[in-house]
Structure formats: C-alpha cells, structure tokens
Amino acid sequence: MHDPRIPAGWSPTEYAAVVRRLGRHPNAVEATVLSALFSEHCAYKSSRAILARLPRKGGALLEGPGENAGIVAIGGGWALAFKIESHNHPSFIEPYQGAATGVGGIVRDILAMGARPIALLDALFFAPPGHERSTYLIERVVAGIGGYGNAIGVPTVGGK
C-alpha cells in the first residue's frame, strides 16, 4: 500500500533517505522543493544512467556533456554546438510558454559556450491524436517554439 506521505514521483527508498537526512518527515514546502530539484527536468533522475553510457571523449568532441552545450569539431577550424532540452512538464501545463522557454534554454546554453545559434531542430512527441488535449498541445507547443525562434531570428529548420 502506498504511504500517502510519500510525494508523487518519489520511491519509498528516496523518501526514507530524506527522512534520515532531515531526522524527520519533510513538511509540504520541503517536499515540494525537493520534488522540483530532483525531477527529471532538473536532475535527469530516470535518464542519468542512460546518459552516462554515452561517449564523453572522442577525436571530434571538443566539449562533452555538462551544464551548457556540447561542441563537436567539423573541420576547417569550425565547430558545432548542440543542445538537447526537454520541457515536457512545462509544455503540458502551459504549452506556448513551456515550449518557448525550452527554446530559450537551448539558445542560452549555446551562447554560454561562445557559439551563435543558427537553427532549431525539434523532435516532438505527444499522446495519440485522439487524446483530448493532443491537438491543443501540438498547436500551442509548435507556436511557442516558432514564436521564440522567430523573435530572435533563429529559424526552426525541421523536426519530427
């Protein structure tokens, strides 16, 4: 049976570790803050193990995984900076702004590496078309991505 004190998305082991560390059960504010900090969006809680298996070194790799963008040498003294961002939860709650801030995060991280963003390429995945919110989410997410990119002069050149 599920313990109602354990916040959604936490395992019993994770909750027990927090209780041990605090010496008590977390209050609602603490549980909410910790839920945000250790969410997939902020901490890559469920995908970290998969991401750790990706190559971190290589002949063309100039900057590997980290806080900002990866950089790959493409020859002739040129390099490309790449960034992948997931904004699933923000885009579900407020699709236009969630998608726009996702693009903003990508652009920020590219700029932080000293690179200039030249294009966006988006892989978007939604519930089946028959789902009650699918059409709304798709239309608003696409509009948010385009709206942000267009405002800063960075085109979306393709996607899925």
Active site residue 131: no
The first and second tokens of residue 44, run together, are 């890559």
Confirm whether 41 is a catalytic residue.
yes
Please pick, among 25, 41, 89, 131, the residue that the annotation labels catalytic: 41
Q: What angle do CA 74, 76, 82 make, to 5 degrees?
A: 25
- Which residue in 25, 87, 89, 131 is the catalytic one? 87
Report the C-alpha gap between 134 and 137 in whole angstroms.
Answer: 5
Please state, in angstroms and rounded to a whole number, the distance separating the CA atoms of residues 156 and 99: 13
Can you tell me the distance from the alpha carbon of 10 to that of 45, in angstroms, rounded to the nearest whole number? 10
Neighbouring residues of 137: CB distance < 8 A, sequence distance ≥ 6:
91, 92, 95, 126, 127
**Sheet of strand 78-82, all strands in order from the earlier edge strand to the far edge:** 61-63, 70-75, 78-82
Active site residue ranges = 41, 87
